[in-house]
Amino acid sequence: MSTVSTRQTIRSYADVAGIRDNVVHLRESAGSAFDASSVTFDGTGNVLVVEDGARLRNTRLRFMGNGSVVYLRRSARFTEVIATVFHESVLYLGPGCSFTSPARFLPTERKHVIVGADAMFSSRVTFRTADPHLVYSVHDHRRVNASRSVWIGDHVWLGEDSLFLKGARVGSGSILGARAVVTKQVPSNASAGGVPAKVIGTDVFWTRPSVHGWTQEQTDRGASFDGDDFVYARDDDVVDAEALEKELDQATSAAERRAWCERLDALTGKNRFYVGP
């Protein structure tokens, strides 16, 4: 018996008008781009929001279930994302992020990947919220590997080949070394590396200029940085990530999940994603 495919695909801005049973905000606007990119829907009731002016390149978004949200803020740089999103999961990418190559996201089992503003993605960065196969205790036969969301703060440097697994939470201003496998909490203004990742430095911050082509004069000027722009601390703006996620998990539709993302946009305090004492 033959079956009729319900797959819908966007390969250009013009294709958006033909999408049915899913909500798409993806439109050509000042500064925008949709180069070598596609969006595929294999489900219904999903929401895709790409902020006006976003520049997508080498991006492939695939909705494999129903009721999910992909919410991408714009950047002056190209956004490069390969994401497969399943039922009722959320991928939120904050403004101002940069990519050396496409980052891979796999939010599944109704868990989420939340990335704050100004993240710097090195090559081949990957996120997974599930293992994904089931693991049980031999003593009581209960599952021991529940899926969990991943939270990344603002202005985080994600090193080459770094991997963020279920339950990872990284505070603003931190640095993850190349090939780090992150499974737990990394505080703000820390550096972490290894398998599994461990904190190897504290009370540090980083800035974006690349030193590869620097002259001696530039190196001398870069020996110090005047300002606390990227130093984070606890204050009244710090969000309760667990409470926020509980609100998200109580959402019953993609429209409500989209509204949650919009509320996250409104939390603009510098220290909102601080992690630490």
Domain assignment present for residue 276? The answer is no
pLDDT tens digits along 75-120: 999 999 999 999 999 999 999 999 999 999 999 999 999 999 999 9
Residue 5 is predicted with a pLDDT of 63
The model's pLDDT over 180-239, given as tens digits with 9 standing for 90+, comes to 999 999 999 999 999 999 999 999 999 999 999 999 999 999 999 999 999 999 999 999
Kindly compute the dihedral angle of the four CA atoms of residues 250, 253, 259, 263, in this order, to the nearest 10 degrees: 20
Residue 211 lies in a domain: no
pTM: predicted TM-score of the whole model, two decimal places: 0.96
What is the 3-class SS of the chain, one letter each residue?
CCCCCCCEEECCHHHHHHCCCCEEECCCCCCCEEECCEEEECCCCCEEEECCCCEEECCEEEECCCCCEEEECCCCCCECEEEEECCCCEEEECCCCEECCCEEEECCCCCCEEECCCCEECCCCEEECCCCCCCECCCCCCECCCCCCEEECCCCEECCCCEECCCCEECCCCEECCCCEECCEECCCEEEECCCCEEEEECCCCCCCCCCCCCHHHHHHCCCCCCCCCCCCCCCCCCCHHHHHHHHHCCCCHHHHHHHHHHHHHCCCCCCCCCCC
In a domain, 82, yes or no: yes
Answer whether residue 272 is part of any domain.
Answer: no
Q: Please report whether residue 207 resides in a domain.
A: no
CATH number of the domain residue 35 falls in: 2.160.10.10
Within-domain flag for 106: yes
Tell me the residue range of the domain where 100 lies: 8-202+227-266
For residues 12-40, average pLDDT: 98
Q: Is the pLDDT of residue 37 over 70?
A: yes
- Asked if pLDDT for residue 1 goes beyond 90, the answer is no
Q: Exposure string (b/e) for 202-212, b if CB count within 10 Å is 16 or more?
A: eeebbeeeeee
Structure tokens at 158: 């994600």
Answer whether residue 277 is part of any domain.
no
Summary mean pLDDT of the chain: 97
**Residue 211 token pair:** 């030193």
pLDDT band at 4 (very low <50, low <70, confident <90, very high): low
Task: Provide the number of structural domains found in the chain.
Answer: 1
Q: Does residue 234 sit within a domain? A: yes
Mean pLDDT of 255-275: 97
Pairing of strands 38-41, 60-63: parallel
